[in-house]
Amino acid sequence: MDKTSWGTATIAARGGYEPALGEGVVPGIQPSSTFVVPGNPGEVPHAYARGGSPAYEPLERAMAALEGGADAVVFSAGMAAAIALLDEAAPGTAVVMPGDAYYGIRVWAEQELPKRGVEVRIVDPRDRTALERALPGASLLWAETPTNPHVAITDLAEIAALAAAHGVPWICDNTFATPILQRPIADGALATMHSLTKYVGGHGDLVLGAAACAGSDLAARLRARRNRVGTQPDAFSCWLARRGVQTLPLRIRRQSATALVLARCLAAHPKIARVHYPGLPDDPGYVVASRQMDGAYGAIVSIVVDGGAEAAQAVVDNVRLWIPATSLGGVESLIERRARWAGEVADPALLRLSVGVEEPEDLWRDLERALA
Ligand code: PLP
């Protein structure tokens, strides 16, 4: 069968690996830091693991195939992938970035890019006029949708049109949607960026990042940069993340369906001041998300609890099934008050819920009891 006609779940299930006759059905873990090279290292695919390793390749192939990119490069963390991409901005130009980009990336950009002679212009990507004003002189436009932690939606078709009109390449942090629900490269993105730590890994047991690239030239530059600065992944995490890819479609759809159930229950609860979830028809992102996401709205629900930070913290302190912890995207449901992190811009009473794969009824009963 022709591989180019494979559907998403089939690509994911194969996880970038095709065993040859007599080989294992799953790839082995190759932990070697160095490879046998008697002569010219340019003549072999791998010489030293900072530059590349067979351990990274199935995962890189899987991410490229799922995102519809020419290639993908895996890094030690989502932050390392983001920084490698942002470092593509040329000195003397600007990077346009949403104010609600993941705070770690926004803070890094604001603190570090000016030192490299790159101006950072923070805009609301849903404000077309502001974007139009910010784009001239920029060499990169950063997008993130849905955002962390407000689950806000940016219209990627509009971003693509504006970026093209100004000749500015754009990149999308696709961590929340995953390539199962959204494929920005098909809309014209130069690349997508992932914290594989989240849904792709999916089990809370690794930290990795990836950049899936529309073109192989960008991937080659990112790989060379990874080699120079030493932001390569580790072999075992790559092995785990590749295994995560195989069940990603099942998990993200199940988790998104549960998130929708919970968002509806929460929206009707008297102690909830606001629910941020683009699957609710009165959410500002509903119309665009319904168009650009593939039949689901993701598995993060953020809520603002009536009564301020103390009331919100009381919910975190009283849940029994939800686990009070940061991060997201795993099979266990996590809850946290985001404003506890310095640098995060969020209502003091905002709780981010990362919905896992438990029974929806159990998750709701636990939340309802903690809210009471
Ligand atoms: N992008 C988003 C949307 C995130 O939520 C995170 C981490 O929370 C990152 C990027 C950074 O990824 P990592 O923690 O793997 O470095």
Tokens of 144: 């993130």
From 102, 147, 240, 328, give the residue whose CB has the most ligand 1 atoms within 8 Å, as the site to mutate: 102
Is pLDDT above 70 for 60?
yes
CA of 103 to the centre of ligand 1 (A): 9
Instruction: Note the Cα 57 to chain centre separation in Å.
Output: 19
CA atoms within 13 A of residue 149's CA, in its CB half-sphere: 28
How much of the chain, in percent, has pLDDT values that exceed 90?
97
Question: Ligand 1, atom 13: nearest CA belongs to which residue?
Answer: 78
**E-strand spans in the chain?**
71-75, 94-98, 119-123, 138-144, 170-173, 191-195, 209-213, 272-276, 300-305, 323-324, 334-337, 350-354
Question: Ligand 1, atom 11: nearest CA belongs to which residue?
Answer: 78
198 is catalytic: yes
Cα–Cα nearest to 277, from 218, 354, 225, 341: 354
pTM: 0.97
Distance CA 58, CA 77 (A): 17
CA distances from 214 to 31, 85, 145, 190 (A): 29, 13, 18, 5
Beta-bridge mates of residue 79: none
The DSSP symbol for 19 reads: P
Give the mean model confidence (pLDDT) for residues 157-176.
Answer: 98
- Tell me the per-residue pLDDT of 227-248, one tens digit each, with 9 for 90 and over: 999 999 999 999 999 999 999 9
For residue 42, the model assigns a pLDDT of: 87
- Tell me the per-residue pLDDT of 253-288, one tens digit each, with 9 for 90 and over: 999 999 999 999 999 999 999 999 999 999 999 999
Sequence spans of domains, the chain: 3-244, 248-371
For domain 248-371, the CATH class is alpha beta
Q: Check 71, 100, 155, 173 and give the catalytic one.
A: 173
199 lines ligand 1 (CB under 6 A): no
Is pLDDT above 70 for 1?
no
Closest approach atom of ligand 1 to CA 80: 16
302 lines ligand 1 (CB under 6 A): no
Closest approach atom of ligand 1 to CA 207: 15
Is pLDDT above 70 for 199?
yes
Q: Check 61, 106, 183, 198 and give the catalytic one.
A: 198
209 lines ligand 1 (CB under 6 A): yes
Judged on CB neighbours under 10 Å (0-12, 13-18, 19+), 198 is buried
Give the mean model confidence (pLDDT) for residues 6-18.
Answer: 97
CA of 358 to the centre of ligand 1 (A): 23
173 is catalytic: yes
Report the CATH architecture of 3-244.
Answer: 3-Layer(aba) Sandwich (3.40)
Give residue 222's pLDDT band: very low, low, confident or very high (50, 70, 90): very high
